[in-house]
Amino acid sequence: MKKKILIDAERLKYPKSGIANVCVSLIKGLDEKESDFEYAFYGPKKNIPPTKKNFNIIDWKFWQKKISINTQSFSLIHTAHQLSKYFHTVKSGQKKVVTLHDLNFLHDGSPEHKVKKVAKIVQKNIGNADTIVCISEFVKNDFLKNRELFTLKDNVKIEVVYNGLIFPETTEFTSKNNYNFIGRKYILNIGVLFPKKNQEALLDLISKNDRDLVLVTSSAKSAYKEKFLEKIKILGLEKRVHILENVDNNEKYFLLQHCESYCHPSLAEGFGIPPVEAMYFGKPVFLSRLTSLPEIGGDLAFYFDHFSAEEMQYVYASGMQVYGSKTSEYALQLRERAQKFGYLEMAAAYEKIYSEQLN
């Protein structure tokens, strides 16, 4: 009889979030490969993608935070992120795998009471884990530096598995929207308007050139967003900055297809899905050199070491010159690098970890 594994995909409550995308990729990857295990997924049934295999789906209900579901029949539980509010306890003989996406709460200037509160949730998830999976070498190193903050099992394993993406089958897309910036050279950025994402630096960049800036973001309101909108006015960039909210995947791919470049000056990333998507489309990527991003871009990306307008413009202009001198060859190399971060590769890496724990 096959051993049963339960995977916590509760984050599919927020289907446009990064962790939800990773859950979908893992489900698809496990669906497409032969397996020695019987999988079940915990999450909102309506958001779990259709599969060829007859996976068991345990539908998420809001009250399950208080009254836990019965996990007795499962040999292993995989918690998909370190802030999960579910599956904090394990049964006798049961194994547990937890994916650690980041420890950003230690570095984002949060007040001490918030740091303690978040650390307590992380502890509940990883304290009894047999394997902690970090989504980049940066996250692993950051965790090891701060390991003394947590009480762990003596024999816990620390592994790295990069997030895996489901890439579109084509790089040619159409849109029903008549964007006035299509046909002009524009820089694209994807992500929630948030201080750690540092999109404000992109306003300084385009103040030194003639590019448009297109931001794909959520509709969430924040103090940073208000500050960002005010800076657009101060710099007189109202006609060159375009904020698009809650776009679907096809629209996002259309924007990637037509952009001149993708810029991601983030101050903190556990992984970085949008730069990988841009590389898949063969677009030059400009990244900050901070946290995990050099692992994503490797020696094919161009890097901002500082965020002054002049420095960023220098990096941008010189990078576009390098890319333009061998566009076809460079685009092919970028796409090949992106494909190393595929969903099948991720699923195989996780199943190897499950096997090591259960066999």
| Segments in the chain forming alpha helices (H) | 18-31, 112-126, 137-145, 200-206, 223-234, 249-258, 273-280, 293-297, 309-325, 327-338, 343-358
Global pTM reads 0.91
- What would you report as the CA-atom Rg of the chain, rounded to the nearest whole angstrom? 21
Q: Could you identify the residue written with the tokens 């992109």?
A: 202
> Using CA atoms, how far apart are residues 341 and 73, in angstroms rounded to an integer?
32
Going by C-alpha positions, the residue among 214, 201, 216, 281 that lies closest to residue 242 is 214
| Segments in 146-270 forming alpha helices (H) | 200-206, 223-234, 249-258
Region of residue 236 (phi > 0: left; psi between -120 and 50: alpha; otherwise: beta) = left
At 18 the pLDDT is 84
Phi, psi of 160 (to 5 degrees): -120, 125
At 225 the pLDDT is 92
Q: How far is CA 232 from CA 202, 237, 243, 289, in A?
A: 10, 5, 11, 25
Phi, psi of 42 (to 5 degrees): -105, 120
> Using CA atoms, how far apart are residues 5 and 17, in angstroms rounded to an integer?
24
DSSP 3-state assignment of 305?
Answer: coil
Per the CB < 8 A criterion, the answer to whether 227 and 201 are in contact is no
For residue 8, the surrounding DSSP H or E stretch is strand 3-8
pLDDT by residue, tens only, the chain of 359 residues:
899 999 999 999 988 788 999 999 999 999 999 998 999 999 999 999 999 999 999 999 888 877 888 999 999 999 999 999 999 999 999 999 999 999 988 987 889 999 999 999 999 999 999 999 999 999 999 999 999 999 999 999 999 999 999 999 999 999 999 999 999 999 999 998 989 999 999 999 999 999 999 999 987 778 999 999 999 999 999 999 999 998 999 999 999 999 999 999 999 888 999 999 999 999 999 999 999 999 999 999 999 999 999 999 999 999 999 999 999 999 999 999 999 999 999 999 999 999 999 98
At 352 the pLDDT is 97
The H helix count followed by the E strand count for the chain is 11, 13
Per the CB < 8 A criterion, the answer to whether 358 and 2 are in contact is no
At 128 the pLDDT is 97
- What do you get for the CA distance between the two ends of the chain, in Å? 14
Going by C-alpha positions, the residue among 296, 235, 290, 233 that lies closest to residue 267 is 290
At 100 the pLDDT is 98
Per the CB < 8 A criterion, the answer to whether 213 and 189 are in contact is yes
- Side-by-side strand order, sheet with 131-134: 56-59, 37-43, 3-8, 76-79, 95-100, 131-134, 157-160
